[in-house]
Structure 1
């Protein structure tokens, strides 16, 4: 009988290393989702920041302005489309834009059409958060799975550390690097736990809802038989809806609600209808919509309070997840608590790496990859903004291509300390360069309106990275290319 050859120790080391790299990849993706989500809280401000001089900013709306915009859109197409949509001015988006066919353009105060709405960098950031820049059908599901994973990590973390609440205010910054990381991880986990759990659960539900919708579409049986006869075309009307009457009716019916979107269905036809989607200040669900006929007569409510309790709860997830309630103060709170979640993610891996070293397991390669993941992500997000502003280069290849290049180098070269030191240095410099380049391109408009808050966020991030770089324990007496203990190489 032939005896099976026992695998050598090198085989097991390779399998263990591969297992660790897979775990590190999951942690890296979780970190990318957290960082991009923290910034994406300000995505409406980023819209304005990306095109600060494209149009005027005003909250004034009239039926005449809406009608003129719709007329110009129809004239531009040469025919009336099935649908025209208008983004209406709101407190965090004080601009009007119109979508028709494949076009999306800003609307001037007199209703004429201005420059195209073009915000590729903001779209990159938003899609990085909710789909990792993958096709939506796949990316949303993957991010939803990470929401489930984060929920499990939060719950299991509390169950695995029964004394975590007792030590909620223990922060031993004067002790070893590993104890600092452990205390920082545990304290932020406790203090921000309600927020982190809300983000995790809402993200998981939104992602899994996408998975369910995708599965339903794939499992749906194809229709058979003869195709249905084409519907008879609606006769063309000579007039557009009475937008003045509609706007007046809505203002009287819901004086406190803020319209953020106006839809015109079958414009310039006998069957045309108008729908106003509005945010209610005393409700958390996404919106309450109201339908009107062409003469301004109220037809019905759509969604919002008219939906079921379950529908209202689902519609509330979006604003709850992205912090779009309560104005700028809530966004700033989400920024701070989102930063805490990023730190918890980074320190969790740092603690794991320190324990690997204590057990005499190989950690240098994994540690180098993690340092590049943490600091390279911040560097390349900022670099993508600089390259887009200065040269018009698409952000996706800058970010993901840069990560691949850094990963290939970090796999073989350098030390964890060197990677952390140099990437932190470049990260704060490039991040500080973003508002500088923005100012050089747009002048004083870079420090007005939504651009002001965004550039202040960039400066705050750069200042935080600079302070951390100066206060982090490094062996500054020697060049950072020399080896250092793992406890000093952590984030």
Structure 2
């Protein structure tokens, strides 16, 4: 298939596509890489605390006893009860500050600690910037990604006709362009879906502000109430939370739905307190329908994400669609593969810009350090957080900064790539070994073994790539006329 487009439009699209890619390449790389990992956040949360007993069973009376044991000083405006699911077969109670796993006797167990997983998620959602600003920035980047996809199609009229043309091992420019274009074509629907849903997440706050002037005369709270349901006006005496009664009622109210969380709203104001039971509806993309109950467990209403207006249902379907949390685990794996493809597209796009300049300078060094140094920096942050319990956000960014500085000092991007590949191998191996030593027998549970085996496979891949790159560097130095930078 060849698009028939005016030559002028093609040139303008190519120029726009190139500059958009250059301006957003580094941040897009971090977002795509962290998003690929974040698809598996449920598995990573369990991996961070493999010693926690797991079970799909729970007792409502046990939940009530556990909730009653939360110290009054720890009660916050919102409280959260996570019910066990196939993905995370653990029960926990959390405040806005901390959380505990629930023991079978209703006592509060170990604290919930998922900081490294949250580091990955927050990198994807906010780029570790202040949340509001970071979310908007990521949303803008999602919108720009839509522009990159459209301009990329317009800039390459033969992009679909050449869908299987892959020229490896020759000119660096042709090699990178072919990898970039082929992966872009093969994952085009996925990339467009991720770009649109990502833009929605990030720009939702701005959309609320704009839409409020259209539908509610600028009243954002009224608009949010129309979408997410207005808070019920309650007059009730302070009393223990009737969690069991609410869960029992769910069997009649929504017999086909599966409750998987409870949010206690106005938890610090007993007279206004009410519960939201979030329930998954099989075969639906919506994250959950929300069923609301007062403190005594009396049913109030449902918000309407399962049977309300089309817009409501669409809004609550964005999450599962964006992260691939629907259907079977194989969908997550597919998202992981396609997310990795998007990450490679980001890297090769910038590589094309570097190759077209036909000279090298500090940009070549800094890009090599940034891209290839991020992986060992992530592994080091995992060691700091999971093994030693040290806040690891600074470790990650210091590691990335150090990698770019080292690459500039070495002034040889081929050598920098090789050294960072070895660094990735070593840091991942250290993480696996230290994890096994720290958690002992728990490190050999099926989930922990699966994650560690995946990490080991990644380490082996980097070791192979580094060894191969070393041979090519040696060959190019001994016979520079026969082997160019494009082969490394």
TM over 0.5: yes
- Alignment match, 1:476: 474
Q: Which residue of 2 aligns with 1:228?
A: none
Aligned-residue offset at 1:24: 5.1
Instruction: For residue 34 of structure 1, give the secondary structure of its aligned residue in structure 2.
Output: helix
Matches within 5 A, 1:399-414: 399-414=396-411
Q: Which residue of 2 aligns with 1:128?
A: 123
Q: CA RMSD in A?
A: 3.2
Between the aligned partners of 1:257 and 1:326, the Cα distance in structure 2 is 15
Match of 1:390 among 383, 387, 391: 387
The residue number in structure 1 matching 2:4 is none
Bigger mean CA deviation after superposition, 100-109 or 135-144: 100-109
Structure 2 counterparts to residues 3-402 of structure 1, below 5 A: 26-53=24-51, 55-73=52-70, 76-77=71-72, 83-100=78-95, 102-173=97-168, 175-212=170-207, 235-237=237-239, 239-241=240-242, 243-265=243-265, 269=270, 272-294=273-295, 296-357=297-358, 362-402=359-399
SS in 2 for 1:475: helix
1:115 aligned counterpart, secondary structure: strand
Structure 1 residue 470: deviation in Å?
Answer: 4.0
Work out the CA distance in 2 between the residues paired with 1:433 and 1:308. Answer: 52
- CA gap of 1:391–1:100, structure 2 versus 1, over 3 A, is closer
3-state SS, counterpart of residue 299 of structure 1: strand
| Structure-2 change in CA distance of 1:464 and 1:193 (3 Å) | farther
Tell me how far 1:303 sits from its aligned partner: 3.8
- Post-superposition Cα deviations, 1:437-489, rounded to whole Å, max 9, x if no partner, equal 21111123223254334323322322332333344572234789x99844245
**Post-superposition offset of 1:300:** 1.0
SS at match of 2:263: strand
Q: Cα distance, 1:265 vs. partner?
A: 4.4
In 2: Cα distance, 1:313 partner to 1:384 partner: 36
Q: Provide Cα deviations, 1:118-168, integer angstroms capped at 9, x if missing partner.
A: 222111111111111111011111111111121111111111111111111
Q: Which moved more, 1:346-355 or 1:388-397?
A: 388-397
Asked if residue 427 in structure 1 is aligned to residue 424 in structure 2, the reply is yes
Q: Provide closer, same or farther for how the CA distance between residues 460 and 258 of structure 1 changes in structure 2, counting only shifts above 3 A.
A: farther
Q: Secondary structure at the match of 1:274?
A: strand
2-structure distance, mates of 1:232, 1:94: 34
Give the gaps of 5 or more residues in structure 1. 1-19, 222-230
Q: How much has 1:98 moved relative to structure 2?
A: 0.7
CA distance in 2, matches of 1:270, 1:211: 33
Change (3 A) 1:374 1:142: same
Match of 1:141, SS state, is: helix
| C-alpha displacement of 1:350 | 1.5
The structural deviation recorded for 1:215 is: 8.7
- Structure 1 residues 432, 479: closer, same or farther in 2, change over 3 A? farther
Q: Deviation digits for residues 41-71 of structure 1, max 9, x if unmatched?
A: 1112111111121x32111122111111112
Q: Which structure 2 residue ranges, 5 or more long, are not aligned?
A: 1-17, 213-217, 220-232
Greater CA drift, 391-400 or 467-476: 467-476
**Structure 1 length as normaliser, TM-score?**
0.83
Distance change >3 Å, CA 112–CA 150, structure 1 → 2: same
Distance 2:74 2:435 in 1: 39
What SS does the aligned partner of 2:264 have? strand
Greater Rg over alpha carbons, structure: 1
Rounded to whole Å, the distance in 2 between the matches of 1:167 and 1:101 is 52
Question: Which SS does the other structure have where 1:90 is aligned?
Answer: coil
